[in-house]
Each structure stands twice: as structure tokens, then as C-alpha cells.
Structure 1
């Protein structure tokens, strides 16, 4: 692979969907903050990017978001090019926790501070880690789904999981939390299987859901561990004419979820607050660059939003989850 320049990577990221976020070309070396993201095709990472950008620009830094397209190799290449350019600092949401140490090692050798915004790392040196309590959030979703199943008399039905990568620490926490929440809520059924997303697309989850429905005709519940792919699962359920006898729970949030929650097509979603996480990531990095104290780990609460509380939670959700995209 030929080594790409920083500006070429930035142009590629814009073509991949960053242009609508208003990211500006990098300015002078040493005055730019770079955000290395798993994939800007997912709204969650776009919202987090906006938060980092707001914090960086508030202190006079330039900003660049580089899309890794869910590839550890691409993320490493983006890191190498950013370091070669001499950026001031890096915020990274790793493609997975096991490959993050390679990026951290490169940055440490170059003396460039790094803040981790979500997902986490298995090892390595970093200034701060901004994380949601994925376990508690997913546990709340599991409890809400269990209650909804019980209200229908379906607590003995099977429940399927379509997860983010289980090589990610946050993915492991979501799976454990959800299972514990189901049990705490009195669910007594069996698991209808677990499928891990790789491309994080609606087409992928459509196929996973089709396969689960075919293999488990008694399936009464489904948990999808991120936002936009949940729409593919709902499409598959509708195509199978199972919308009236299967309950869906999700994680994270996009504007489409508001009407889906209100209509009970989704009964609950554990919404991280990506815009707020991005702001805190950017603020931690700016504080580190200024020589100030930085907390090693900063936890951001997860909002367990249900069909019952969506109207109450919506003002906060619009600001900290949807990055004010929803009018």
C-alpha cells in the first residue's frame, strides 16, 4: 500500500460523509486535533466527532476527522500520517480494543497525547478515557425488555442478540449487561443465538434477523447493540410479518428512533450521549495540551429511553445524543 498523505486521507474522509459535518482542512502543524473514528457511516461516530470538533475549535485548534472504515489497518495508517504531519493531539475511538495499543505506541513515541473516546484499549498509554457505562445501560435495556415481554405473557420466549464486535470492551459489557438485565427482569426463556456485526449496515442486520427468525420461530425478543443497523432488523421483522409478536430493543440513538419508540416498534434503547462524549474527549485533550490536570477516566451516563419516557427525555436526547440534528 502506498503511503497516503494526511490531506489525501482527509479528502477521502470527506467523500465518505464528513463533508456535511463542516470539518475544515488542517491548518498549521501542531495546531490541529485529529479524531480517528471507526466509521463515519454510523451516526453515533458522526455525533461524537461533532462534539470533539466543538471543543477543539472553542480553544482555537483546527480539526480533522479521519474515517477508518472499520479497518484496524486503515486506522493505523491514519494515525501514522497524522503523527507525521505533527498534529497537536489525537482523539481515537478504536476499531477494536485489541488493535488500539499499536496506535497508542506510535503516538507515545512521537510525544503526541491521545484521548480515547469510547470502546477502550487492552493496553497502552493515554491521557484520558471517556466511556459510557455500557454494562449499566444495557442492563437497563434488558430489564425494560423483560418487563415488556412479561406484560405480553411472553417471558418464556427466546431472545436473540445482534451485537457489536465482542473484541471491543464495550461490546462485551453490553452483552453481559443485557443478559443480566433480562434475568433480573424475570425472563425465563432461552437465547436465540448471537450474531456479531462486521459491516454495521442495515443489510447485514436484515440478514441476521431473517436467519434468527427462521431458526427460532418462538423468538419473542431481539436486541440490536447499535443504532442504524436496528432499522435493518425492523425491516426483516416486518417482511416476515412478525411485527405484532416480537419486541425489539436497541442501543444508542438516531432521530428515527423517536417515532419508533412512540409507536412501540422499539420498546427501549440505551442511548449513549455521543455529542457530550465528544465534547468531554476534546476538552480532556485540550486540558492535557495546556499542561493541566486530566482525569484518567471520565464516565458519561447512558439514558435508558423507553416507549413510556421518550417525551420526557427528548429535550436532553436532542442535544446530547443527536447533536441538535433533530429540529
Structure 2
């Protein structure tokens, strides 16, 4: 293991103002850092839990979970990854916010002999040789499932708006591509001003959704490449209550990514017409096993894919996998 000073990690975390899982008092043989896009999202909480479970099973492994406390364009995540490299962690697993920036950090990690895997969101194709593998879903397939669900509900087409996270997030862009490739251009038109980018800012996502629905009262569909508006349950319920008749009649279709418990509640209540879920617990779990394989000299497949859960109101009680 490279020298890792727990006090330095704690000080760095305190300076960055984040809440992180502390390093154990008795040093582990290896320290692997799991870096989410932010730490205020239950999606990433599940990945953390998978990471901790894998570390416990392997033994002698520290899952060090650290990331920006809030949303952002990726600058804080980039700095954190740089700091982790400087402190000599044994491996990095990063959900990439800003692909070009993290590519620079991955190059520095490679030079320092620190393996990098990506999960949930990958580097750009030109930079993927800098990491050992990507662990997650095929993000274009997520977008395709959203598109297919919309076509099934409204085969005659109409108008729609896509809401996404960060404009530099590869996973979000791939999901949008999947939607656009699936929706027939002769039947479906995206309204002016869309796509919307909320940068994983939950309050902003509600404001954007509120504004676009007010601007286009006859909008046929709101497609979300993530689940940001649903992460503020009271605000989401308040917003959708204004359009409850249109939503429940199917005039206004709402489709989202992820299947967190709160989101499944909206699906069951008729305030969503579909949820396409990833498996974040498995991503965090497999990230640690994969890094351990890499540092042990083993060859790992690229990519390592986890499945999708496609949930509708009719299948809400049986569709979700941990």
C-alpha cells in the first residue's frame, strides 16, 4: 500500500466541507476511494453501501467515500481526485462529472501508478485508455427505454422537453442520445429552450420544470435523463398537483431515470409514467472488487455492465432490483 495518512485525509475532508466515511483507525492494507458526483443524492448512497460491503467481504480494504457535498460543474470533484492522488490512495473509482477534467486527473493517476475505474459516468472515448474499465449501465440504452416507453404511451407523437444534469456529463449526454435516436423525428419535436441542464441542482430542476410546463401548457412529455426533480418530494408533489388531471389522463407524460424508493412512490401514485433504474449498489460493490483485481495484476473486462430495471405503474411492485 502507498503511504496514506488518515489525519491528512480528515483534514482535507474538513477543508472541503464534506461529510465522508472516515478512514479506520487501524490502517487497511489498501485504500480505495469511491468518488461520486455529489453526496446529497440517495443514488450515490446506495453505491457507497455496495462499496462498504465489498470492502468488508474482501478484508484489508478501506472504502473511502468522498465527493462534493452539493451539485456543481465538476471543479470540486476534480480537485478532490487530485488531492486523493497526491495522498497516495491505492485506487480510484470515479463517477465522472466533467469528463475532460477527470481525464487530466486520470492521466496524473496513471503516472503515479494509481489505477482508475469509472462508474455510473465514463470518460470520453478518446480518454478511456486512462482508466482500467467502466462499471455501470449502457447509458444509451437508458435513453432508448425512455423513448420506447413514450412511444408506447403516445404512438402519434407530439412535443417534449428533455431535462438533464451537467452538460459535460458523458452519461447524461448518452442518455439523451438514446432518447433522440429512438423518437421518430417526423412525429416528435423538442420545444425551444430544451434540453434543460440542472447541473444536479435539485431546486433548480424544480424551477426549470415549473417554467417549461408553464411556457408550454400543451406539452406532451417531460423526459428526464436523471431524477433530480423527484429528489425534492414535497416540491415535486406540489408541482405535479397543478397538472394532475393531465398527468393521470396521460395527456402529459412524465418519465424519469432511477428507481429510488421515493420515485417508486410517485410511480405508484400515478405521478410518473415510467422509471428506468440503474443498480448503484452493484456499481459500488463491483468497483471495489475490480480495483482489487487490478492492483493484484488481474485483467478485468471493459466495460463491466450492470442491468436496468424498467418500471411502469403496472409493474411497480415487482420490477426493482437492488
TM-score range, shorter-chain basis?
0.7 to 0.9
Residue-by-residue CA offset, 1:71-92 (whole Å, 9 max, x unaligned) = 5332232223222332211111
Asked if 1 retains the 8 angstrom alpha-carbon contact of 2:205 and 2:228, the reply is: no
Q: Which residue of 1 aligns with 2:3?
A: none
Q: Which residue of 2 aligns with 1:258?
A: 264
**2:317 equivalent to 1:311:** yes
Q: Which residue of 2 aligns with 1:130?
A: 135
User: 277, 280, 288: which one pairs with 1:282?
Assistant: 288
Instruction: Provide the rounded CA distance (Å) in 1 between the counterparts of 2:107 and 2:29.
Output: 19
**2:30 equivalent to 1:25:** no
Q: Which residue of 1 aligns with 2:215?
A: 215
User: 134, 140, 147: which one pairs with 2:152?
Assistant: 147
Q: Which residue of 2 aligns with 1:323?
A: none
Tell me the secondary structure at the aligned position of residue 299 of structure 2.
coil
Asked if 1 retains the 8 angstrom alpha-carbon contact of 2:91 and 2:291, the reply is: yes
Q: Which residue of 1 aligns with 2:180?
A: 179
Q: Which residue of 2 aligns with 1:59?
A: 58
Residue-by-residue CA offset, 1:228-277 (whole Å, 9 max, x unaligned) = 42355554232456544422100012101222222321111110111111
Instruction: Provide the rounded CA distance (Å) in 1 between the counterparts of 2:282 and 2:40.
Output: 19
Instruction: Provide the rounded CA distance (Å) in 2 between the counterparts of 1:265 and 1:12.
Output: 41
Asked if 2 retains the 8 angstrom alpha-carbon contact of 1:43 and 1:228, the reply is: no
Instruction: Provide the rounded CA distance (Å) in 2 between the counterparts of 1:210 and 1:268.
Output: 20
**2:75 equivalent to 1:73:** yes
Asked if 1 retains the 8 angstrom alpha-carbon contact of 2:172 and 2:226, the reply is: no
TM, length-normalised to structure 2? 0.84
Q: Which residue of 1 aligns with 2:224?
A: 224
Residue-by-residue CA offset, 1:170-191 (whole Å, 9 max, x unaligned) = 112111212333339xx82421
Residue-by-residue CA offset, 1:263-295 (whole Å, 9 max, x unaligned) = 321111110111111111111101112222211
Instruction: Provide the rounded CA distance (Å) in 2 between the counterparts of 1:223 and 1:210.
Output: 14
Query: Tell me, which stretches of 5 or more residues in structure 2 are unaligned?
Result: 1-6
Query: Tell me, which stretches of 5 or more residues in structure 1 are unaligned?
Result: 321-327
Instruction: Provide the rounded CA distance (Å) in 1 between the counterparts of 2:89 and 2:285.
Output: 19
Deviation at 1:110, TM superposition (A): 1.2
Tell me the secondary structure at the aligned position of residue 118 of structure 2.
strand
Residue-by-residue CA offset, 1:40-91 (whole Å, 9 max, x unaligned) = 1111122112222222232221121111243533223222322233221111
Asked if 2 retains the 8 angstrom alpha-carbon contact of 1:225 and 1:251, the reply is: yes
Q: Which residue of 1 aligns with 2:298?
A: 292
Instruction: Provide the rounded CA distance (Å) in 2 between the counterparts of 1:45 and 1:96.
Output: 17
1:155-166, aligned counterparts within 5 Å?
155-166=156-167
Deviation at 1:12, TM superposition (A): 6.6
TM, length-normalised to structure 1? 0.83
Asked if 2 retains the 8 angstrom alpha-carbon contact of 1:44 and 1:227, the reply is: no
Instruction: Provide the rounded CA distance (Å) in 2 between the counterparts of 1:76 and 1:138.
Output: 27
Tell me the secondary structure at the aligned position of residue 297 of structure 2.
coil
- Tell me how many residue pairs correspond in the alignment: 301
The change in CA–CA distance for 1:82 and 1:57 in structure 2 (over 3 A counts) is: farther
